[in-house]
Amino acid sequence: VNGRTGRTALVTGASRGIGRAIAARLAADGAEVVVHYGSDAAGAAGTVEAIERAGGTAHAVRAELGVDGDAETLLAGVAERLSGRPLDILVNNAAAAPAGPLGTTSRAEFDRLFAVNVRAPYFIVEQALPLLPDGGRIITISSVATRMANPAQTSFAMTKAAVETMSRTLANQLGARGITVNAVAPGATRTEANGDVFEVPGLAARITGATALDRLGSADDVADVVAFLASDAARWITGQVVDASGGLFLG
Ligand code: NDP
CATH number at residue 28: 3.40.50.720
Query: Which region holds residue 165: left if phi is over 0, alpha if psi is between -120 and 50, else beta?
Result: alpha
246 domain-assigned:
no
Sign of CA dihedral 189, 96, 43, 19: positive
Q: Apex CA 154: angle with CA 36 and CA 172, to 5°? A: 60
Rounded Cα distance between 172 and 239, Å, is 7
Residue nearest to atom 38 of ligand 1 (CA): 189
Q: Classify residue 248 by burial, with Cβ atoms within 10 Å: 0-12, 13-18, 19+.
A: buried
Rounded Cα distance between 128 and 73, Å, is 11
Give residue 117 CA to ligand 1 midpoint distance, Å.
10
Q: Give the position, in ligand 1's atom list, of the atom nearest the Cα of 14.
A: 9
**Predicted local confidence at residue 2, as pLDDT:** 43
250 domain-assigned:
no
Give residue 15 CA to ligand 1 midpoint distance, Å.
9
Task: State CA 18 to chain mean position distance.
Answer: 8
The amino acid that residue 180 corresponds to is T
pLDDT, tens digit, 9 for 90 and up, residues 34-80 = 999 999 999 999 999 999 999 999 999 999 999 999 999 999 999 99
Rounded Cα distance between 199 and 193, Å, is 12
The amino acid that residue 161 corresponds to is A
77 domain-assigned:
yes
**Predicted local confidence at residue 99, as pLDDT:** 83
Rounded Cα distance between 225 and 243, Å, is 9
144 domain-assigned:
yes
Our count of domains for the chain comes to 1
251 domain-assigned:
no
2 domain-assigned:
no
Give residue 4 CA to ligand 1 midpoint distance, Å.
30
Rounded Cα distance between 140 and 153, Å, is 19
pLDDT, tens digit, 9 for 90 and up, residues 209-239 = 999 999 999 999 999 999 999 999 999 999 9
**Predicted local confidence at residue 5, as pLDDT:** 63
Give residue 3 CA to ligand 1 midpoint distance, Å.
32
Residue 193 — very low, low, confident or very high, per pLDDT cuts 50/70/90?
Answer: confident
Give residue 202 CA to ligand 1 midpoint distance, Å.
24
Q: At what angle do helices 154-174 and 107-114 cross, to 10 degrees?
A: 30
Q: Which spans in the chain are helix H?
A: 17-28, 41-53, 70-82, 107-114, 120-128, 145-148, 154-174, 203-209, 219-230
Q: Apex CA 184: angle with CA 69 and CA 145, to 5°? A: 90
**Predicted local confidence at residue 102, as pLDDT:** 95
* Pocket-testing residue among 11, 12, 16, ligand 1, by greatest number of atoms within 8 A of Cβ: 16
ipTM value, please give it: 0.99
Rounded Cα distance between 160 and 6, Å, is 31
Domain hosting 224: range is 8-240
Sign of CA dihedral 70, 71, 74, 77: negative
249 domain-assigned:
no
Q: Which residues contact 240 (CB under 8 A, 6 or more apart)?
A: 167, 168, 171, 182, 183
Q: What is the dihedral of CA 85, 91, 96, 97, to 10 degrees?
A: -150
Q: Report which of residues 5 and 162 the model is more confident about.
A: 162
72 domain-assigned:
yes
Residue nearest to atom 20 of ligand 1 (CA): 38
**Predicted local confidence at residue 1, as pLDDT:** 44
pLDDT, tens digit, 9 for 90 and up, residues 94-117 = 999 988 899 999 999 999 999 999
